[in-house]
Every structure is written in C-alpha cells, then in structure tokens.
Amino acid sequence: MNFPYESELKALKRSGRYRERSIRNAGLIDAASNDYLGLAEHKELHMKACETLSHYSDHAPKASMLVNGYHPIHAAFEEALCKANGFEAGIVMGSGFNANIGLIEALVRKGDVLLMDEEYHASGIAGARMCEGEVVFFPHNDTKVLQRELEHFKGKRIVVAIEGIYSMGGDLVSREIIELAMAYESVLILDEAHSSGVIGEKLMGILDYYGIEPTPLMIKMGTLGKAYGSFGAYVLSSEHISHYLINRAKNVIYATAPSLYDTALAHHALEYIQTHTEALREAIRSRQKIVYDTLGIECAGLIVPIEIGDNREVMRLQEILKNEMGVHVGAIRQPTVKKAILRLIARVEISEALLRNVCERLMQIWVK
C-alpha cells in the first residue's frame, strides 16, 4: 500500500479543510503572523544578538540543559524575565508547544485534577492526553462552572490551565478566573503566548494588565516567536516549582537546550520593549481604535477574529485581499476553530492608513 492515508486526504479536500505549505511571499504585507510588534523585522536586534554570540567560543547549546547545554546566555535571559515579571525563577524552553506539553505532563500526577479552559491551545490539550491525572475541560471563561469544579475537587491537588489572550478568539481571560484559582489554592498555568508584549502597563501580559502580583502557585508560560520576534519559550514560577520541573519535565531533561541565537535575540527584544513601552502601547491603542471604528470589533490585544463560517469562503476572501491590496490575512478553518474565521493581525508595523483601508475593504466583502 503506497498511499495509506489517501482516504483521509480526500475527505479533507472534500470538506475544504485540506492544508498546504506555501513559501512566504515577501511582496505581501503581513497581517497574518503573530509578530505583533514587528520585532522580527528589526535588523538592529539581529545585529545585537550576533554581537552577543561573538563574545563566546561556541554558538550552539550542544546538549540538554542538564548535561552541559545550560549557557550564560540562557541564564541571563531567565534572570531578566524574572525581574521584568516579578517571578522567582525561570527556564527557557524550545517552543511554546513543547513547553505546554512538558509542563502539563509533569505537573498533573496520578490523583491530581487538571481543569482546562476548552479553548486552550492544542499543545495543552496534547499535554492533557499524556498526563496521569483526571482532566476536565470547562466552558470558555465560565466562572460558575470553574467554581463548581474547584469545589467538587477540593482536597486534591488541582491545576488550572488558562490563556491570557486566547489565540483565535482574541479575548482576555477574565480576572475572576484567575482569582478563583488563587482562592482555591490551585496551581495556575497562565499561557501568555499572545498577551506577553501586547497588554499591561509594562506590556508584560495578563498579570501586569490586571495588576495581580505573582504567587508561589502561579506559572507563566510565554513564547518568544510572537511579540518577541524570535523563537522559543520560557516558564516562570517559584523556585520550588522550577526545581520540580528541572527534575520532571521531559522537554527540559531530554531535549537539547534552546538556541543561543534565538535566546539572545529574545533578550534584546525584551530590552527593546522595556525601553519603548509607551510608544508601543500608543501604537497598539491606535490600531485597536481603527479596528473598532471600522469593524465594530473591540480587541483585547491585536488579534481581530472575523467569523465567516465557511471553509471555502474564508479562503476566497483571503485571496481577494491578497490580489487587490497585497495584504496577507490568516484564513483559519476547522478543526483549529469551531467556525472558519479570517484572522487579521493589526501589527504595529502596518501603517494606520493601510490598516484602515484593509478594515474598510473587509466591511465591503464581509457578509455578516
């Protein structure tokens, strides 16, 4: 049998869910990626990362962190992240996907309970399938159901997993969800992939946004491939939980340590965010206002989800914007979302005039 998955591929094509890779077209304006602040295009950050690497005899980690892959570049970035976010300890990791899997598989032991928002990222769901404890998905941002589950499992070790800004809906986790987890003394995983660098007085994410101080039971997972314009991830926590993860998380123990270049690049991106905070916040606010004024959509961050509902129609609309305006927006289909959406990212590198034009054209072609 030379084509063992032919029937599955045909079914995907029939339903409009078949996916293909295409090489990025540099001639298109990027309104699809998660490079929210445009830092992936800042050449000075690249040059600074190369300069940092030039001070060392090696430019690759060479081994896992627990062999001899833990480098001064890793340690310096972890220290800077802890200082910026108010946590005791940090661990840089290879990607947000493997950080979520490693975290959840390690933290949820036999006899424990994981309470996860139903719209948590696919990486967390994959981790949930690997863990030894009981897994319960609660309705998205539903405080009443979460409180009922917390009360039901009182007395056990409970892990609650939520996102700061949800990647497809673009909405914030409610403050009440965080406060419930704190009140019931649950271990709280905050996936800040789409909120770190985008919201908060210091642009540090959801805790910064709500003015909540980290507690010893909070774990912040952030990615470096979005607002930070690099690649990789980090986990911030108490010293106690950090020591546990170093001894239990398989992605820390068995994987080669993260890229030194990407870690150095992310460190310089953090410094850029810290020294340009107010200008970035103003750029974010102005783009949120344009989206609200033209589309009537209130954005928590820079994700603008436009529900289309049809897999083929969302691809057609994406092509219209490419061909007419030279703008690439995301066309997201099932199973990533329940109903197909155009996912416009109002990146700060997109001029305000162009963003307004794109939104106005969307209003013309979008049938609500």
Q: Read off the pLDDT of residues 4-41 as tens digits, 9 standing for 90 and up.
A: 999 998 999 988 888 888 888 889 999 999 999 999 99
Distance, CA of 205 to CA of 267 (rounded, Å): 16
Looking at residue 17, its pLDDT comes to: 83
Instruction: Please give the distance of CA 283 from its chain centroid, rounded to a whole number.
Output: 20
Q: Which two tokens stand for residue 356?
A: 């307004």
Instruction: State the pTM of this model.
Output: 0.94
Looking at residue 367, its pLDDT comes to: 59
Looking at residue 194, its pLDDT comes to: 96
Taking 50 as the pLDDT cut, the residues of the chain under it are: none
Looking at residue 284, its pLDDT comes to: 98
Looking at residue 368, its pLDDT comes to: 54
56-96 per-position pLDDT tens digit: 999 999 999 999 999 999 999 999 999 999 999 999 999 99
In order of start, what are the domains of the chain with their CATH numbers?
A: 14-36+302-365 (3.90.1150.10), 44-274 (3.40.640.10)
Looking at residue 272, its pLDDT comes to: 98
Looking at residue 352, its pLDDT comes to: 96
